[in-house]
Chain A
Amino acid sequence: MIWGSVWGALRRNPLTLFGGCVVVFLFAVAVSATLLPIPDPYAIDADAVLEVPSFAHPFGTDELGRDVLSRVVYGARISLWVGFVSVGIAIVIGTLLGSIGGYYGGWVDGLIMRFVDVMLCFPTFFLILAVIAFLEPNIGTIMAIIGLTGWMGVCRLVRAEFLSLKERDFVQSARALGVGNLRIIARHILPNSLTPVMVAAILGVAGAILTESALSFLGIGVQPPTPSWGNILTSGKDNIQIAWWLSLFPGLAILLTVLSYNLLGEGLRDALDPRLRGMR
């Protein structure tokens, strides 16, 4: 049901289709990075430090003489991985708490929603900084904390869906037939409330990639030598006046990716769920 309308949305809106194609393309590049005919992104060349783009190095080299094209390609893996996993965490937590709150209502719902309110009050970036700086800034911590501070929107969306869906006839009749709560949630309500979650997830990936790059700027993102778009861009920033290629290419990669995820997400939302139009 959902996939049919996704396809419809893609076909009708060329921008959404563009976003979708780029998303698929980047995903393919990231997955097949090891198969591509590009140099080792970790190979250091002491004699080729910060070289301008050339035939051998189409995106130039970085401050250790490594190939920037390879690093941007492998960076796609890391950046997308950060995006997917952190959003995955946020979706799981948000959906879980949102469906519990929405389905059971009462004080459980009250407690959960107050917790959501509390979390929404924090400048999220402050919270992320505090936790990452206090823990080890490795990729796991970064994904976990972006996820743990990003579930509130999903939680609210899912709760709202549940509130309206649980009063609907098919839920009421299932309940009358004595179907258990868990089964009603999992079988009847959840699948019907997934559209906004999917849209939120797609938009969330874009946000997570930007957050990682901001963390890298502060020196506490994904740590070198592992390439992420954020940390390549940051080393580009320090050399911006002598090595434009070192910030241009990862910068464009981030721009293009975030752009595509946003186009895809918003296009789908407008097509699938007009009520949410204009909201982020």
Chain B
Amino acid sequence: MLSYLARRTLTLIPLLFGITLVSFLVIHLAPGSPIDVLADLNPKMTAEAKQRLITYYGLDKPLHERYWQWLRRFLALDFGVSFSADRRAVMDKIKEALPITITINVLSLLLIFLVAVPIGAYSASHLYSTFDKVLTVFVYIGFAIPTFWLALLTLILFSVQLEWLPISGLSSLDYPQLSLAGKMWDLVSHLILPVLLSAFSGLAGLSRYMRGSMLEVMRQEYITAARSKGLSEAEVIYKHALRNALLPVVTILGLSVPGLIGGSVIFEQIFGIPGMGRLFFTGVMSRDYPLVMGILTIGAFLTLLGNLLADVSYAIVDPRIRRGGAG
């Protein structure tokens, strides 16, 4: 197991290098420069003042030099200083925003997993029942609806019309004065809609996938064998089929991490959540190069980690993988 882990981790190194290279190129090949944003066509900004800023940020150096510089710092987990007027370390900004986005995404993943697996399995074992058909409809709508639109509709329904849930942000103004239970509910109520909505399309996808995987497994010989041994249908399904059907689902769950992180831009924008998606979007709109590169890299790194976790848990369950070597 250890050697599998080691091998698997080694394959990550070239990937990490590729990730940094792609991030760097994407950002630096675009025209324009962050100084324009700082200057903002300000009449009091002279050409010399601009030149000073350019030197300050090292923007006058050639591309490969900047990449090399950046890479060396990256290895020390130092993403440099943000171009925005606050001049804060990019790492500090990411540290602030990352836990929020991770919390929401982990909650969504959990929700997706906990809801999708049972309904997918149920649907597969009750093929073409009403439930199965309803699920199919839900799945297709889940895929097809623009989520920002749905988010706004739910906001209007639950927060404005029914007044059950808060609208935006992560905590209420009176949060520090609340009791412990009050604080808990305050946090939970702020998270309900964002988590539900970011889980929505993933939920649709995964339950569909679970259903497919389950159907696949049910056709296998060992299921037929189990049946012929006289095991009850419930035993067949929950003891044998479910476990095997879960394996590919875990992998897919790992693969859905980048989608969730990407989607966080939209949700955090609508629900006013101070997470990484918004940090990234403001960074992009103000050409905060170090920030954008930092987040792109961290985002890719997280995906890598998610895939690694999925692979490792897969390998723990299924010994064949370990022997088969890293794919």
Contact = CB atoms under 8 A, between A and B. Distances in A.
Q: Do A and B come from one complex?
A: yes
Interface in A195-231: 206, 210, 213-214, 217-218, 230
A218 B281 contact: yes
A122 B19 contact: yes
Interface in B159-189: none
Classify chain B: how many residues form its interface, as a range: 35 or more
Interface stretch (A83-91, A129-137, A177-185): A129-137
A133 B209 CA distance: 34
Interface string B258-270: 1101110110010
Main secondary structure of the interface of B (DSSP, over half): helix
B204 to A, nearest CB: 10
Nearest to B136: A15
Interface residues of A, number: 44
A235 interface: no
Contacts of A277: 212, 215-216
A120 B30 contact: no
Contact of B216 (A254, A256, A278): A278
Nearest to B293: A130
B113 interface: no
Contact of B266 (A119, A218, A255): A218
B263 A125 contact: yes
Contacts of A35: none
Contact of B15 (A118, A126, A133, A258): A118
Given A134-B30, A277-B215, A118 B22 contact: yes
A263 interface: yes
Interface string A111-146: 000110111111111110111011100000000000
Nearest to B263: A125
Given A126-B299, A214-B266, A255-B144, A280 B205 contact: yes
B211 interface: yes
Contacts of B259: 123-125
B284 A278 contact: no
Contacts of B156: 240-241
Given A114-B15, A278-B212, A130 B296 contact: yes
A251 B143 contact: no
Contacts of A210: 144, 146
A79 to B, nearest CB: 11
B212 A218 contact: no
B30 A135 contact: yes
A122 B30 contact: no
B58 interface: no
Nearest to B287: A134
Interface in A47-73: none
Q: B22, B140, B209, B296: which has the most chain A beta carbons within 10 Å?
A: B140
B89 interface: no
Contact of A124 (B208, B262, B295): B262
Contacts of A120: 255, 258, 303
Given A121-B19, A240-B156, A133 B285 contact: yes
A156 to B, nearest CB: 12
Interface in A233-262: 233, 237, 240-241, 247, 251, 254-259, 262
A43 interface: no
A194 B208 CA distance: 24
24 contacts: A118-B19, A120-B258, A121-B300, A122-B23, A122-B303, A124-B259, A126-B296, A127-B296, A134-B32, A214-B146, A214-B266, A217-B146, A218-B265, A233-B149, A237-B152, A240-B153, A251-B146, A251-B149, A254-B146, A255-B146, A259-B140, A259-B141, A262-B140, A279-B209
Interface of A: 114-115, 117-127, 129-131, 133-135, 206, 210, 213-214, 217-218, 230, 233, 237, 240-241, 247, 251, 254-259, 262-263, 277-280
Given A118-B300, A131-B26, 6 more contacts: A122-B19, A123-B258, A130-B26, A233-B149, A255-B141, A279-B209
